[in-house]
Structure 1
Amino acid sequence: MTPDSILMDNSTTVEPDYLRLILTSRVYEIVKETPLQHATNLSIKTNNKILLKREDLHEVFSFKIRGAYNKISHLTEEERNRGVIACSADASATPTIKWQNVERLGAKVVLYGSDFDEAKAECARLIEVEKRTNIPPYDDPYVIAGQGTIAMEILRQYKTLDANAMTLSLREKRRVILDEVGLFADGAAVRIVGEETFRVCSEVVDQMINVSNDEICAAIKEVFEDTRSVLEPAGALSVAGINKYIAENKITGGCFVAITSGANMNFERLRFVAERAELGEQREALISVIIPERPGR
């Protein structure tokens, strides 16, 4: 089966069959099923059952290996022989620990631009110049299906019923281009979501939850207290989202699964996380006062 054949049926373009693509994924040629861990402290704190899908335990400390390998495994021999090239949502303002690990695995790393879109444009230029095969970071059926194996594992393991481009896009029912993106949760910092990703999310996502940097820091701290693992900001988004959803809807006795999707963060950033976590937990507050500067005051 060629990469394009999933979109074709008797010469008619059809939507990818993601259930079939997930069930026939080649992810498990190199990836082991990650555990679904009960977060004891978070569960007690929220009075709900919180489970963590530990994608941060992969050898590359990120879920992204699933989609990338699934895509590469479906390339033709000629496409593989040309070599592959990829850009990431955290390709430019990326923590050192991320790109050093990529180099350790034998890849050539190019840090380019101030955000993902500039890095993506440079990647497209290099594809033309070097004739390499592109491995998209998210907007590809095989990549999406590779990441989708996470959901398949969750269902098997437990059967139960600033960078907000996707939130705005689903609200507007079109792909919204952000003027700028925050880079704290660098793994999710894109100005426009993928076309195929948006189509799928429009059909299956019920609600999006926006969280602040402080709430992400609080989530990183909470996961550390439960697992002794330190997530990167983007890796803790789901935990922060669960916390906010439970608090806003006053839910008790429910069951929630958070995908802890990555643990590639520079050590120096921990100081910022520790300082802001108390704010995210609403144990501290910052108060600012504007005093007019006038003579004699």
Structure 2
Amino acid sequence: MTAAVALTESDSLNDRLPTLEDIVGAAARMQGIVQHTPLQKSEFLSRKYQAEVLLKREDLQPVRSFKLRGAYNRISQLSRAERQRGVVCASAGNHAQGVAFACSALNIQGTLFMPANTPALKVNKVRQFGGSHVKVVLTGHTFDEACQAARAREAESGATFIHPFDDPDVIAGQGTLALEILDDSAGTPIDYLFTPVGGGGLASGISTVFHHHSPTTRLIGVEPSEAAALQHSRKAGHNLTLDRIDPFIDGASTQRIGERCFDICNERLHRVLTVEDQQTCQALIDLYQEEAIVAELAASLSVAALEQCREEIIGKRVVCIVSGGNNDFSRAHQIMEKAKGTNG
């Protein structure tokens, strides 16, 4: 695993963290835009782990991931002057789709920076959702490199940067799915919740809601083993930047957790697990073959992590966040080879 080094955040972040009230407000703001996705029991996983395993199906959003929630909540609150200047973002793919959808819905121009190795499916979907409202720029090989280019464009143009995770309005938007989970649970306690972690926005929003409404639920963040920025940072006691990551799990591979996200996740996640690519690929295949769910690799992290908790979740009620379904099947051979434990 790559070493980790400390880095001082250059952004001037305010101290505001999203509140439960912010998340409730976001849910009201995005009615008619964001789908209330189902909380679906997985018979296969429930039998396998002798537990009641429920899947939060964010792959069923209009943009096939949870990212629409945060992007729309942030962009819909821009002032008239900010809307006229447009927006800019950086994304491994799913956030860009959410921004593109919001730009089209709100008649705002956006420039979207994505790594050059972003799966073609995600790039094409961004263009489809944004249409004439967006311009896609492919640059760099990681989210972090694309983000540097997006920040430079922000400084040049005066456009508003829509952060994919380290923004209170984005975090609040992502947290709305936790409200849905609790509504659909009908008062029945949830013992464990497993959520993928990339930059930390989703985990931050979820943990904010559960901290207030279901504090006994064990919240477990799951990262790729080769991009485990949160786990390294928690062990160090402060936020770190990894000097190198493997972007194979493209939707959850960042060198550094968001500043706000680290503070929230460090306090409210009960545990952070890492999963090898082999297990994540197998989980993706199992979801497709056993449940007919087309999940992407990052979305499969939560399911892959169940194996590490096999004994403790017996007889428990468990929720896994299936965070998105933008899987490019041109990568199918590579995914199958990795699941077998070969390099492909």
- TM-score normalised by structure 1 residue count: 0.85
117-126 vs 81-90, which moves further: 81-90
Aligned to 1:265: 327
Residue 120, structure 1, aligned to residue 147, structure 2: yes
- Cα offset, 1:16, TM superposition: 3.0
Establish whether residue 194 from structure 1 lines up as the match of residue 258 from structure 2.
Answer: yes
Spell out the pairing of 1:120-199 with structure 2 (5 A cutoff). 120-158=147-185, 159-161=188-190, 162-199=226-263
2:91 is aligned to 88
Q: Is the 8 A contact 1:181 1:191 kept in 2?
A: yes
SS across alignment from 2:55: strand
Q: What secondary structure does 1:264 align onto?
A: coil
Question: Kindly tell me: are residues 198 and 274 of structure 1, through their superposed partners in 2, closer, same or farther at Cα, counting changes over 3 Å?
Answer: same
**Could you tell me how far apart the structure 1 residues matched to 2:292 and 2:92 are?**
26
Aligned to 2:270: 206
Structure-2 residue corresponding to 1:34: 37
Aligned-partner residue type, residue 165 of structure 2 = Y
> Displacement, 1:80?
1.1
CA offset digits 1:130-166 (Å, max 9, x no partner): 2211110000000001000111111111141411101
**Where does residue 136 of structure 2 map in the other structure?**
109
1:99 correspondence with 2:126 = no
The answer to whether the aligner puts 1:253 opposite 2:315 as a matched pair is yes
Task: Tell me the residue number matched to 1:77.
Answer: 80
| Deviation of 1:125 (Å) | 0.8
2:299 equivalent in structure 1: 235
Q: Secondary structure at the match of 1:177?
A: strand
Distance 1:49 1:276 in 2: 28
- Between the aligned partners of 2:268 and 2:312, the Cα distance in structure 1 is 24
> Conserved in 1, the CA contact under 8 Å of 2:18 and 2:169?
no
- CA contact 1:89–1:137 (8 Å) conserved in 2: no
Question: Which structure 1 residue ranges, 5 or more long, are not aligned?
Answer: 1-12, 280-285, 287-297
Larger displacement relative to structure 2 (170-179 or 32-41): 170-179
Tell me which structure has the larger Cα radius of gyration: 1
Q: Using a 3 Å threshold, how does the CA distance of structure 1 residues 73 and 276 change in structure 2: closer, same or farther?
A: same
AA matched with 2:40: Q
Q: Which has the higher strand share?
A: 2
Instruction: Assess if the C-alpha contact under 8 Å between 1:22 and 1:149 holds in 2.
Output: yes
Q: Percent identity?
A: 39
Closer/same/farther in 2, CA of residues 251 and 14 from structure 1, 3 Å limit: closer
Q: Aligned equivalents of 2:18 and 2:69: distance in 1?
A: 18
Q: Post-superposition shift, 1:251?
A: 3.5
Residues 275, 304 of structure 2: 8 Å contact kept: yes
In the TM superposition, what is the alpha-carbon distance from 1:209 to its structure 2 partner?
A: 0.7
SS of the residue 1:147 aligns to: helix
Matched pairs, number: 266
2:299 and 2:324 in contact (8 A); partners too: yes
Q: Give the AA of the match of 1:96.
A: A
Once residues 14 and 179 of structure 1 are traced to their aligned partners in structure 2, the CA distance between those partners, rounded to angstroms, is 27
Instruction: Letter of the 1:150 partner, please give it.
Output: L
Query: What's the secondary structure of 2:319's corresponding residue?
Result: strand
Contact 1:39 1:226 (C-alpha < 8 Å) held by counterparts: no
CA distance in 2, matches of 1:184, 1:267: 14
Structure 2: how far apart are the matches of 1:251 and 1:35?
22
1:17 deviates by 4.6
**1:226 Cα offset (Å):** 3.7
1:245: how far off? Answer: 2.0
2:166 and 2:258 in contact (8 A); partners too = yes
Tell me, in whole angstroms, the C-alpha distance in 1 between the residues paired with 2:118 and 2:166.
20
| Gaps in structure 2 of 5+ consecutive residues | 1-13, 94-113, 191-225
| Distance in structure 1 (CA, Å) of the matches to 2:239 and 2:275 | 20
Q: Contact 1:209/1:245 (CA < 8 Å) preserved in 2?
A: no
RMSD: 1.6
Counterpart check, 1:221 vs 2:285 = yes
Residue 108 of structure 1 deviates from its aligned partner by 1.1
Partner of 1:291: none
Q: CA deviation at 1:208?
A: 0.4
Secondary structure of 2:241's partner?
coil
- Give the Å deviation of 1:14: 5.8
Give the AA of the match of 1:274.
M
Structure 1 residue 52 corresponds to structure 2 residue 49: no
Q: CA deviation at 1:262?
A: 1.0
- Following superposition, the deviation at residue 169 of structure 1 comes to 1.1
- Is the contact between residue 41 and residue 225 of structure 1 (CA under 8 Å) also seen in structure 2? no
**Cα offset for 1:250?**
4.8
